[in-house]
């Protein structure tokens, strides 16, 4: 089974549906973030679901526990395969999100965004390195009872060692030679999977390709020798 959720970051629902059609049967599913959800809401998600692809709803919820729980209940009918919350919201908030989620939805906590480095963390008052902050928030997420975390490929090996059965999602994944763009802590798909990632989130290398189906097929083929593919749980 492919470990790749394709990040469909667009407000164009027709373009998103076209990508979903092209990658069906090769991708694990589609990841829909704030841009798509704010533009199209429930109806847009349901339209993408028509292509029989699991949906990873990347909303990064972060608010008081009661509000987050209500937000999760509000989207429960969409039955996302994966849903994100911010680990920085705290143990009680994460626990509330998990309690409100549908049984088939994995709730994963975002630790440190892949667009942030040590200087960025210092700017918001966090004196730890990204790796230290990921470790701290991952431990909190595990205590809260969520299903796993989101972290960069640079931290995934340590996260896997600390949480052997957790669902570890790695965004900011770039094939060899592909531009980093707005990401700062990136790894290749092979490295991320080899270090213990459960799910790889890949966007522009696939969605910006002339042939998205071939682009993802080539990436999947490059992963074929990797033993950890069995870790994928969605």
Q: Which residues are catalytic?
A: 60
Of 25, 26, 7, which is closest to residue 223 (Cα–Cα)? 26
Give per-residue burial for 1-21: e unless 16+ CB within 10 Å, then b: ebbbbbbbbbeebeebbebbe
Q: What is the DSSP letter of 38?
A: H
Provide the angle, in degrees to the nearest 10, between the axes of the packed helices 91-100 and 130-144.
Answer: 50
Sorted by sequence, the CB contacts under 8 Å of residue 210 that are 6+ apart come out as: none
Distance of alpha carbon 100 from alpha carbon 57, whole angstroms: 15
């Amino acid at each position: 089974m492919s470990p790749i959720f394709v990040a469909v970051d667009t407000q164009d629902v027709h373009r998103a549906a076209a990508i979903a059609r092209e990658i069906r049967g090769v991708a694990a599913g589609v990841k829909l973030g704030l841009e798509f959800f704010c533009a199209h809401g429930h109806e847009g998600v349901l339209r993408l679901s028509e292509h029989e692809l699991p949906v990873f709803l990347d909303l990064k919820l972060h608010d008081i526990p009661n509000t987050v729980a209500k937000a999760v209940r509000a989207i429960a009918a969409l039955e996302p395969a994966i849903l994100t919350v911010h680990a920085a919201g705290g143990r009680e908030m994460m626990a509330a999100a998990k309690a409100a989620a549908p049984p088939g939805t994995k709730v994963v906590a975002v630790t440190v965004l892949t667009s942030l480095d040590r200087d960025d963390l210092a700017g918001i008052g966090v004196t730890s390195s990204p790796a230290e902050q990921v470790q701290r928030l991952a431990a909190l997420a595990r205590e809260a009872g969520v299903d796993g975390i989101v972290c960069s490929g640079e931290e995934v090996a340590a996260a896997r060692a600390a949480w052997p059965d957790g669902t570890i999602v790695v965004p900011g994944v770039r094939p060899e030679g592909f531009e980093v763009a707005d990401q700062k802590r990136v790894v290749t798909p092979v490295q991320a999977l080899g270090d213990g990632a459960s799910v790889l989130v890949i966007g522009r290398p696939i969605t910006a390709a002339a042939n998205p189906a071939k682009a993802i097929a080539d990436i999947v083929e490059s992963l074929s020798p990797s033993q950890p593919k069995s870790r994928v749980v969605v």
